[in-house]
Amino acid sequence: MVLRFAVVSYAHMHAWSYTRAIKELETEGKATLEAIFDNNTDRLRRAQEVFKPRRVYNDFNRLMADGGFDAAVVASENARHITYALPLIKAGVHVIVEKPITTTVRDAVEMVNEADRRGVKLQVAFVMRYHDAVVEAKNRIGEFGRIKAITATNHGTCPYDWFVDPELAGGGAMMDHIVHVADLIRWFTGKEFEEVSAFVGRNIRPELKVEDNGLILAKLTDGTPVSIDSSWSRHGTWPIWGDVYMRMLADHGVLTINAFNQNISLADDKGFHWVGFGPDADRNMIEDFIRVVNEGSQPRASGLDGLRALEVVVAAYKSWREGRPVKISEVRV
């Protein structure tokens, strides 16, 4: 079946790449871009000009009333994920929701449970599970024996805009970046996080109302120690937005992932920057989601995976506020 997509909000920059992937798959007869929605007039106009969807909406209720699509990509501000995703799920629409799945555990549980009740596919946009280098590492990690320790980073430049609004984003760098790596650690090990300790330094950008640097030290259920540096520590002129770097120490060796290291250094009239030529994880995810819906199988990164990763972040904020290690069981509802 050719899957008919709606894209709900271009607040998150990744929405542009997801829509680009849908349009590419449209040329192959695998998908159609039926509709786009945004409550921001400028973003909506730009997206309409670039992607030329069949229908355009600035009213979400009107989009829902008209329907005519099978799946939706929700890429709004974090706090509004549930505002859009839950009605879509209740209407029987399959949903890809940008990470983090929501900003509260309670909302995430509601989304996951509703998708289960409706028989709807709920996918969280953990695109790193679709990156070729990460998939290769996942396939080979068993060769190394038991994993003894994991260190990871997900750095980036500060995205500003709503990402630094504590109400819309739900936090700062920790909310933005921990979930990606926490999800990969769960995927690689098959273990859950048990306890989290968070350490936040003085802001690199003192004007922000959210944290722009944070380190968590955590323990998995089998006792494996983990560290994740989730800081917006890159300078604004850094040639790439960020990184996903992991080093896993195991019985029989060390496996290292540097997911965005495939690039060409280019200096032109726009300055110095890196041009990536590596895998297209966004397209891989969209294409696999089409397969999941058509075959009735389970997403590689499910709503439950999104919930479990969010619990790590919520525990990190609780640890920061209270100055103590926090068990994941303390934040579950």
**Domains of the chain with CATH codes:** 3-127+282-299 (3.40.50.720), 128-279+310-330 (3.30.360.10)
Look at 22-31, 238-247, 324-333 and tell me which has the smallest mean pLDDT: 238-247
Query: Could you report the per-residue pLDDT of 38-93, keeping only the tens digit for each?
Result: 999 999 999 999 999 999 999 999 999 999 999 999 999 999 999 999 999 999 99
pLDDT-derived band at 242 (thresholds 50, 70, 90) equals low
- Report angle CA 201, 184, 255 to the nearest 5 degrees: 95
pLDDT at 241: 66
Which region, left, alpha or beta, applies to residue 170 given φ > 0 means left and ψ of -120 to 50 means alpha? left
Q: Is the pLDDT of residue 270 over 90?
A: no
pLDDT at 132: 93
- Decide: 25 and 17 in contact? Cβ < 8 Å: no
User: d(Cα 26, Cα 198) in Å, to the nearest integer?
Assistant: 44
Dmax (CA) for the chain in angstroms is 57
- Decide: 188 and 137 in contact? Cβ < 8 Å: yes
What is the pTM assigned to this prediction?
0.95
156 vs 50, residue with greater confidence: 50
Look at 189-198, 269-278, 287-296 and tell me which has the smallest mean pLDDT: 269-278
Q: Which residues contact 42 (CB under 8 A, 6 or more apart)?
A: none
In the DSSP assignment, the letter for residue 119 is T
The mean pLDDT value of the chain amounts to 95
Q: Is the pLDDT of residue 277 over 80?
A: no
Choose among 73, 97, 90: nearest CA to 16: 73
User: d(Cα 218, Cα 225) in Å, to the nearest integer?
Assistant: 6
